[in-house]
Amino acid sequence: MGKKRIIQKTEKELLEEREKIEAAVKKETKVEVPSARIKEGKIYISSSYNNTIITLTDLRGNVLAWTSAGAIGFKGTKKATPFAASKVAEAIMPTIQKLGIEKIAVFIKGIGSGRESAIRSLAARGLDIVAITDITPVPHNGCRSPKVRRV
């Protein structure tokens, strides 16, 4: 089988990768600004073991914008990290500011590691978080048990 080699990235490659991710975060989002400014909105954070997705909606639930760790440029297991979740929250902030949203209600779904870091990142950007609600589905009776084996 031979010796296994671990590929080490140089500092230059790491800096290029980081610049690429930051450029994707700062990339302009194409959002149509409605004539009447929206003051309040809802943010849904779906955090799984594989990815973190943030969706911005108005109070009626109509989707205004969304972004995910994969859309920003993270690949593989890096999509599920808290760092990726905070970058996703930073990426949706320009859209929130363009729409003029000041107050948000946050709804969290899932059991990934990016749950708290996404909220912290949104709060650090100066948004007024009205409520934080966990909407993770919880099984109340479990799966149906298998039928009895007959020998």
Reported as a pLDDT band with limits 50, 70 and 90, residue 139 is confident
Residue 7 within a domain: no
Q: What is the pLDDT of residue 151?
A: 86
Residue 5 within a domain: no
Residue 2 within a domain: no
Residue 9 within a domain: no
For residue 83, give both structure tokens.
């760092």
For residue 60, give both structure tokens.
């009626």
For residue 37, give both structure tokens.
């400014």
Q: What is the pLDDT of residue 129?
A: 95
Does the structure show a pLDDT above 70 at 131?
A: yes
Query: 56-110: per-residue pLDDT in tens?
Result: 999 999 999 999 999 999 999 999 999 999 999 999 999 999 999 999 999 999 9
Residue 11 within a domain: no
Residue 106 within a domain: yes
Q: What is the pLDDT of residue 8?
A: 78
CATH code for the domain of 75: 3.30.420.80
Does the structure show a pLDDT above 80 at 36?
A: no
Q: What is the pLDDT of residue 27?
A: 64
What range defines the domain where residue 120 resides? 21-27+36-134
For residue 119, give both structure tokens.
């909220």
What is the tally of structural domains in the chain? 1
Give the burial class of 29: count Cβ atoms within 10 A of its Cβ; 0-12 exposed, 13-18 middle, 19 or more buried.
exposed
- Residue 117 CA to residue 82 CA, distance in Å, equals 6
Structure-token match 């709804």, residue found: 107
Reported as a pLDDT band with limits 50, 70 and 90, residue 32 is low
Residue 145 within a domain: no
- Residue 69 CA to residue 75 CA, distance in Å, equals 8
